[in-house]
């Protein structure tokens, strides 16, 4: 009896799963059907922004007014409508025109140097600074006790801050 119930449960579960999958697929199908609408300008620009054409130095593709760049954007639109992903489209342009179309070099091989050299130099800078601190470092000298700032000013002036401000103005006049 229990087995029977179990069998029934399994069958029902399979059925539910099957129906669920079917629904899910239909849902995806619906989404896919929506996606066949032409890609929007914003979707094209989102990819174009990350690309540079070889002719227009330093002008990202999304704002470049030249005819060539316009054609590139149309190409992106076409690929998008064919269902290509962003990565595939970028890779397509890299394959066609080389790594220079990307807004920064891919992290591989020689190109690593581009990323690592500033970091290394910065570390060298930190090290030099640290050494400078150490070499220039000295304990507070004894003459501190007779610091000129502490020198004669009316005691009525009260707090140190005021005294400093006044001292400074005196010095300047």
Partner 1 sequence: MLADFGFGILLVTFLASLYSIVASLYGHLAHRPKWVESARLSMQLTFPLLTLASLTLIYLLVSGDFNVKFVYEVTSRDMPTYLKVTALWGGQSGSLLFWSWLMSAFATAVTLRKWERDREFLPWVTMVASITIAFFLGLNVFFENPFQRFWQTFQGVDAYTFRPANAIPFAPEDGRGLNPLLRHPGMVIHPPMLYLGFVAYVIPFAFAIAALITGRADDRWIRLTRRWSLTAWLFLSLGLVLGGRWAYDVLGWGGYWAWDPVEIAAFMPWLTGTAFLHSVMIQEKRGMLKRWNMILIILTYSLVVFGTFLTRSGVLSSVHAFAQSEIGPAFFIFIGVTLVASVALLIYRWDSLHAEGQMHSMFSREALFLLNNLLFMGILVICFWGVISPLITELVTGSKVTVGPPYYERAAGPLFALLVLLMGIAPLSAWGHITLKNLAAQNGLELEKRYALAIAKLLWKPAIPAVLVLIGLLAAGITNIYALIGLTFAALTASITLYEFWRAARARGRAQKEHFFLALWNLAGRNRRRYGGYIIHLGVILMAVGIIGIEMFQSETQRSLAVGESIQLAGYTVRYDSLAQFPANDGRWVTRAVVSVFDKNGQFLTELYPRYDVYSDGQPMTIPGVRSTLADDLYVLLINWEGVTSQIAPFKVYHNPLVNWLWLGAFVFIFGTLIAAWPEAEREPLPAQARKTKTVYQPGD
SS3 51: strand
Question: Total binding residues for partner 1 by CB under 8 A?
Answer: 62
Considering only 47, 69, 76, 89, the residue that binds partner 1 (CB under 8 A) is 69
Angle, CA 104 vertex, CA 99 and CA 106 arms, to 5°: 55
Nearer to partner 1, 5 or 161 (CB): 161
Residues of span 94-113 touching partner 1 by CB under 8 A = 98-105, 110-111, 113
Nearer to partner 1, 15 or 63 (CB): 63
**Cβ atoms of 53 and 61 closer than 8 Å:** yes
Locate 52 and state its tokens.
């540079």
Helix axes 67-81, 41-48, angle to 10 degrees: 110
Q: What are phi and psi of 159, to 5 degrees?
A: -70, 160
Q: Quick one: which of 50, 155, 136, 63 has its CA closest to 93?
A: 50
Nearer to partner 1, 30 or 125 (CB): 125
Shortest CB 31 distance to partner 1, Å: 22
158: left (phi over 0), alpha (psi -120 to 50) or beta: left
Residues of span 9-68 touching partner 1 by CB under 8 A = 40-42, 45, 52, 54, 57-60, 63-66
What are the residues binding partner 1 (CB under 8 A)? Answer: 40-42, 45, 52, 54, 57-60, 63-66, 69-70, 98-105, 110-111, 113-115, 117-118, 121-122, 125-126, 129, 132-133, 136-140, 144, 147-150, 157, 159-162, 164-169, 171-173
């Amino acid at each position: 009896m229990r087995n029977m119930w179990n069998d029934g449960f399994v069958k029902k579960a399979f059925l539910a799963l099957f129906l669920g999958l079917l629904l899910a697929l239909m849902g995806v199908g619906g989404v896919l059907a929506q996606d066949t609408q032409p890609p929007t300008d914003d979707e094209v620009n989102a990819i174009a922004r990350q690309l540079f054409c070889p002719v227009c130095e330093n002008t990202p593709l999304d704002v470049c007014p030249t005819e060539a760049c316009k054609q590139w954007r149309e190409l992106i639109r076409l690929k998008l409508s064919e269902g290509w992903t962003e990565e595939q489209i970028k890779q397509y342009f890299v394959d066609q025109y080389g790594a220079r179309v990307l807004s920064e070099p891919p992290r591989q091989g020689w190109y690593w140097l581009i990323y690592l050299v500033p970091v290394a130099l910065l570390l060298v800078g930190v090290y030099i600074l640290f050494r400078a601190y150490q070499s220039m470092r000295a304990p507070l000298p004894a003459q501190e006790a007779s610091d000129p700032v502490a020198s004669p000013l009316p005691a009525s002036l009260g707090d140190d801050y005021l005294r400093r401000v006044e001292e400074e103005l005196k010095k300047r006049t």
